[in-house]
């Protein structure tokens, strides 16, 4: 199927894009890498009157160091993240996880801002950002807001973003040498959406401190397993009782069912991926 007719604008500045987005004249939708939006339009699941193409806005394409954070512009593509020395040095969890996001052709076009704005419950990026305690900066013509990843993702394809706002950038705390990270996903084929996956950040291991355990593709959005974190924080990694307690808490998460797995299977897979990711938490800085 082909997309329905739409108007098209391709502004060169962020300000021009925000002015267009705030206009009441026409209902417009931002276009980033188009890897999700174009198929949705072709299937008539999205029918925007106007596409607002962000691809020529240089102000949204940057990766920079800002004190204890790395700032990433919304239009940075997955492939660019994977090639970035700053990302390799400061955000090791991205390096572990990004090769699992789709296939190379999609990573060449898909953007971090597009994934954040879409909030697909099966996507890796929302879980990574929650595990990293990242923040998301959103802008409109008249305001700028900084929202924690914990508060940004509200449900399936639902975020705290308002219709006149764009995702501007993502701010991720830099890793330090004591920090540990883990990532594990189960998919039918490498590059497919995961059946279940988990991203983990910890300020230390032996004992675990400040664990953030975040699942994706099991619930209506990336979900933190706070009770599992509580069961493990302060415990050593070889404490099998603590691990058993943490695994038990996973049965209380709100699992959904999809075409590939029942909610009971998702619960089982969550236990598997958490154990595997915890067993190989790796060092922060390579
Ligand atoms: C075959 C296939 C396999 C895939 N597998 C995976 C996978 O395993 N894991 C995964 O995470 N993803 C996967 N994807 C999705 C892919 O990662 C998308 O690229 C991503 O979800 C959206 O990024 P995009 O830049 O293409 O956004 P687009 O498709 O351009 O936009 C997505 C949505 O975000 C909005 N938007 C975009 N940018 C902004 C912004 N700056 N501010 C506000 N709103 C904005 C758009 O209006 C739209 O609603 C797959 C896609 C395909 C086609």
In tens, the pLDDT along 247-286 reads: 999 999 999 998 889 999 999 999 999 999 999 887 665 4
- Is the pTM higher than 0.85? yes
Q: Which of 254, 94, 286, 266 has the alpha carbon at shortest distance from 177?
A: 286
Q: Is the dihedral of CA 206, 212, 214, 220 positive or negative?
A: positive
Rounded distance between C-alpha atoms, residue 190 and residue 176, angstroms: 30
- End-to-end CA distance of the chain: give it in Å, rounded: 46
CB atoms within 10 A of CB 77: 21
Q: What is the DSSP letter of 218?
A: S
**CATH class held by domain 7-53:** alpha beta
Question: Which atom belonging to ligand 1 lies closest to the Cα atom of 166?
Answer: 42
Rounded distance between C-alpha atoms, residue 265 and residue 280, angstroms: 23
* Main-chain phi, psi angles of 83, to 5 degrees: -90, -10
Rounded distance between C-alpha atoms, residue 33 and residue 51, angstroms: 12
CA of 230 to the centre of ligand 1 (A): 33
pLDDT tens digits, residue range 11-65? 999 999 999 999 988 999 999 999 999 999 999 999 999 999 999 999 999 999 9
> Which ranges constitute the DSSP H helices of 175-262?
226-232, 240-249
Asked whether 198 and 184 are in contact (CB, 8 A), the reply is: yes
CB atoms within 10 A of CB 130: 25
Q: Does ligand 1 lie within 6 Å of residue 32's CB atom?
A: yes
Question: Which atom belonging to ligand 1 lies closest to the Cα atom of 191?
Answer: 8
Q: Does ligand 1 lie within 6 Å of residue 197's CB atom?
A: no
Let me know if domain 182-283 sits in CATH 3.20.20.140.
no
Q: Which of 185, 111, 124, 186 has the alpha carbon at shortest distance from 153?
A: 124
pLDDT tens digits, residue range 131-158? 999 999 999 999 999 999 999 999 999 9
Q: What's the pLDDT at 285? A: 55
Rounded distance between C-alpha atoms, residue 229 and residue 239, angstroms: 14
Whether cis (ω within 30° of 0) applies to the bond prior to 207 is yes
Q: Does ligand 1 lie within 6 Å of residue 123's CB atom?
A: yes
- In the chain, where are the structural domains located? 7-53, 58-173, 182-283
Q: Which of 93, 118, 126 has the alpha carbon at shortest distance from 223?
A: 126
Let me know if domain 58-173 sits in CATH 3.30.70.100.
no
Is pLDDT of 86 > 50?
yes
Q: Does ligand 1 lie within 6 Å of residue 93's CB atom?
A: no
Q: Does ligand 1 lie within 6 Å of residue 73's CB atom?
A: no
Across the chain, how many H-helices and E-strands are there?
Answer: 12, 15
Rounded distance between C-alpha atoms, residue 145 and residue 165, angstroms: 9
């Amino acid at each position: 199927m082909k997309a329905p007719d739409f108007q098209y604008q391709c502004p060169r500045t962020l300000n021009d894009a925000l002015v267009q987005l705030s206009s009441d004249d026409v209902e417009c939708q931002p276009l980033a890498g188009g890897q999700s939006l174009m198929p949705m339009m072709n299937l008539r699941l999205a029918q925007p009157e106007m596409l607002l193409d962000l691809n020529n806005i240089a102000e949204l394409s940057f990766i920079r160091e800002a004190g204890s954070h790395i700032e990433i512009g919304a239009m940075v593509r997955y492939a660019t993240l994977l090639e970035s020395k700053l990302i390799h040095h400061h955000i090791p969890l991205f390096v572990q996880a990004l090769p699992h996001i789709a296939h190379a052709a999609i990573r060449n076009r898909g953007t971090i801002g597009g994934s954040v704005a879409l909030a697909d419950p099966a996507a890796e990026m929302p879980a990574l950002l929650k595990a990293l305690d990242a923040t998301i900066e959103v802008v409109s013509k008249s305001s700028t807001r900084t929202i924690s990843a914990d508060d940004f993702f509200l449900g399936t394809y639902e975020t705290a973003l308002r219709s006149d706002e764009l995702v501007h950038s993502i701010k991720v705390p830099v890793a330090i040498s004591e920090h540990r990270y883990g990532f594990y996903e189960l998919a039918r084929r490498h590059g497919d959406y995961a059946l279940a996956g988990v991203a983990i950040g910890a300020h230390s291991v032996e004992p675990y401190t400040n664990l953030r355990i975040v699942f994706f593709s099991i619930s209506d959005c990336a979900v933190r397993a706070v009770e599992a974190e509580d069961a493990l924080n302060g415990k050593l990694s070889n404490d099998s009782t603590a691990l058993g307690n943490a695994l038990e808490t996973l049965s209380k998460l709100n699992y959904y069912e999809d075409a590939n797995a029942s909610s009971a299977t998702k619960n089982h897979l969550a236990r598997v991926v958490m154990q595997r990711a915890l067993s190989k938490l790796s060092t922060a800085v390579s």
